[in-house]
Chain A
Amino acid sequence: MQQIDLIKKAFRLETVDRIPWVPFVGVHAAKLLGVGAEQYLKSTDHIVNGVSRAINMYNPDGIPVVFDLQIEAEALGCQLKWSDNSPPSVISHPLQNGMGVEELKVPCTCRGRIPVVTEAARKLRDAHPGIALYGLITGPFTLSLHLLGTDIFMKMFEDPAMVHDLMGFSTKAAKMMAGEYIQSGCDIIAMVDPMTSQIDPMSFETFVSPYVSEIFSDIRAQQGLGSFFVCGNATQNIELMCQSKPDNISIDENIALDFVRDTALDHKLSFGGNMKLTVALLMGTPEEAQREALQCMDTGGKQGFILAPGCDLPFDTPPENLMAVAELVHDEMRQGELRASAATTSAIDTLDLDSHWSDTQVVIDIITLDSSSCAPCQYMVDAVARAAEPFGNSVVAKEHRITAKEGIQMMASLGVKKIPSVVIDGNIEFESQIPPVERIREVINQRLRKKSS
């Protein structure tokens, strides 16, 4: 199955074998190439090379073309201030300088960096046909804020008609950008509207809901999938975001993932998020990054969930942390190991094994992920069965699957760290590598001799 199919399956809320993962690589790809953010975001070649490198390193199922919420604003005449290691910032707001809303025109697709990013999307589409490409567009409220400045918050009370006109215009600009990305081969349009986290549900319903609903309906009409991204604590608006009928909502660490899961699934929507960007991915170790990812995966589950960072990855995120997340996503055994090692220190009780051992029989415990689905686990179980066969009742062998609570408790109680492992009379004898049957028999013989002496 191609990565895009896995993402689509999650969007359709079908149960997946493996949770899809979408690293929100933006200016971080500039770091991978050793160039600055400005140079990167102005060059089709850099974007194509940077994203391609991220695809090779992080083995994702989907990836954004660029993560820059200033592209439309720039094309509409907002001035930008560039930085070496983050996306640019808007520093002038045309509507604050005497321009009227009626004078705004949806920009030509030739303006600003629109051709740079759509060309990058086309080249990435050709180079990586199996990956889900995300085209990120600026949500209408955030774009309106770029155009008018923070006065928009007060204008909602003082001049609501003007805010509606402005939102109507920003919606047209967003639909243009979504169409361009879809034409360029993007599968998913992520409408990123972080500023909506700052407003109350009533303002959202009045000034945002009608416009974002229109954008998602337009994306659907063009056979695209729509995702509503919001950064910041938008807990109060999640319900309304779902009602605007995107296909997916994606949130950051400021919102509880279980709350979003329950709300999204109630609305039959898929959802994504919300690995901690700074504490875990930027400042943590690879193992901390993996634990953070696992926690999200265990909360998100295998229906409708897409693992992703909460927002744009910081420039300096250590690549080894993201590679560790990629490894974990693709390695169910590593997931099991991490879960079990967390269990030794967490609230899961270890087992009292006094009655587990025998004076006459050799007791073999095989800790596996699940021998019916994991090939190395199956070979380990088979090897033990063949080794034990000649000994008849003198050997008792049992598989403990860490997909069940008992398996995790057993793994923690025996001090096992790797999957699969063979523990004979309480001693960890074989880890990960499948031993020759003869080697297992030797250990069984030693143990039997000890018991009879």
Chain B
Amino acid sequence: MKELLDQISCCIEFGKINNQSPYPPDMKGKDGADELTLKALNEGLNAGDILNMALIKGMEQVGDKFRKNKIFVPQVLMSAKAMGAAMAHLKPFFSSGDVKRKGTCIIGTVQGDLHDIGKNLVAMMVEGNGYEVINLGTDVGADRFLEESEKYPEAVVALSALLTTTMVNMETIVKTLKDKNPGVKVCIGGAPVTQDFCDRISADLYSPDPQGLVEYLNQLHTTNAAN
């Protein structure tokens, strides 16, 4: 069983989607995340174990290598695609409530900005780490974030921007959210965003990589669980 979980984890880490997928070249012709996850379920492994012991483990490796600049967006996207193939088999078990989620994260790319690769990668990593993700898409204004945040007052809000011309909209969104709910945690990220900027607009976290947000959420989860 452990061997099968390790194989799935390896497919996620290196972006092996399915049997037909030519990438990575050294895994050509072998089963990918798609077939192996199905196999694991058929052999009686439960969805929670597959998520925790294979998918999250694989994605942690991806997050770690991305943070250390060993891999970049193309490789992470291949891993994301492999993760998506595996998740398609596991989703029915999550929606039935068989697997408990650690918390909720509302995520979106800010108003004026239509870029979604980074935001979707973060969403996928957060989801893969056991959180419910409410993905609002791109070009999301303060009102839309607020509406969703009021529905889920405990949720952490994550804002993404790729352009220097749109990252300035983060300031309004942070202010709108915190005016209504001073306790709400707002995290920001995206290529032009910096820690300086985060301090300036009084956001709670800047992370240059998805793993930083996952770690922050895990920290909040642990603190909340302890209280």
Interface residues of A (CB under 8 A from B): 27, 81, 83, 85-87, 89-91, 150, 153-154, 156-158, 194, 197-200, 203, 231-233, 235-236, 252-254, 276-279, 282-283, 310-312, 314-316
Contacts and interface: CB of A to CB of B under 8 A. Distances in A.
Given A153-B117, A231-B191, A200 B75 contact: yes
B48 interface: no
Interface stretch (B32-40, B177-185, B192-200, B215-223): B192-200
Contacts of A283: 200
B210 interface: no
A158 B113 CA distance: 28
Interface in B165-203: 165-168, 191-192, 194, 196-197, 200
Interface string B65-78: 00001011111011
B103 interface: no
A153 B73 contact: yes
B74 A203 contact: yes
26 contacts: A86-B112, A86-B166, A87-B165, A89-B113, A90-B114, A150-B116, A154-B77, A154-B78, A157-B24, A157-B74, A158-B22, A197-B191, A198-B72, A199-B74, A200-B71, A203-B72, A231-B164, A232-B192, A252-B164, A278-B164, A278-B167, A279-B196, A279-B197, A279-B200, A310-B164, A312-B163
Interface in B97-128: 112-114, 116-117
Interface residues of B, number: 33
A399 to B, nearest CB: 39
B74 A154 contact: yes
Contacts of B94: none
A277 B165 CA distance: 9
B41 to A, nearest CB: 26
A203 B81 CA distance: 19
B194 A316 contact: no
Contacts of A252: 164, 192
Contacts, number: 97
A312 B165 CA distance: 7
A157 B15 contact: yes
A86 B71 contact: no
B192 A314 contact: no
B61 interface: no
A150 B191 CA distance: 16
Contacts of B71: 200
A254 B73 contact: no
Contact of A81 (B78, B114, B167): B114
A154 B81 contact: yes
A165 B37 CA distance: 35
Contacts of B22: 157-158
A89 B112 CA distance: 8
Contact of A91 (B15, B72, B114, B166): B114
A98 B16 CA distance: 26
Contacts of A232: 191-192
Given A154-B78, A158-B23, A231-B191, A199 B73 contact: yes
B74 A156 contact: yes
B77 A153 contact: yes
Contacts of A200: 71-72, 74-75
Contacts of B197: 278-279
Interface in B141-164: 163-164
Given A87-B165, A314-B168, A279 B112 contact: no
Given A278-B167, A282-B168, 6 more contacts: A89-B113, A150-B117, A153-B117, A154-B77, A279-B197, A311-B192
Contacts of B114: 81, 89-91
B21 interface: yes
A199 B94 CA distance: 33
Contact of B164 (A89, A157, A311): A311
Interface string B18-59: 000111100000000000000000000000000000000000
A91 B23 CA distance: 29
Given A89-B114, A154-B74, A315 B192 contact: no
A321 to B, nearest CB: 14
B188 to A, nearest CB: 12
A86 B163 contact: yes
Contact of B112 (A83, A153, A203, A278): A83
A153 B74 contact: yes
Contacts of B117: 150, 153, 198
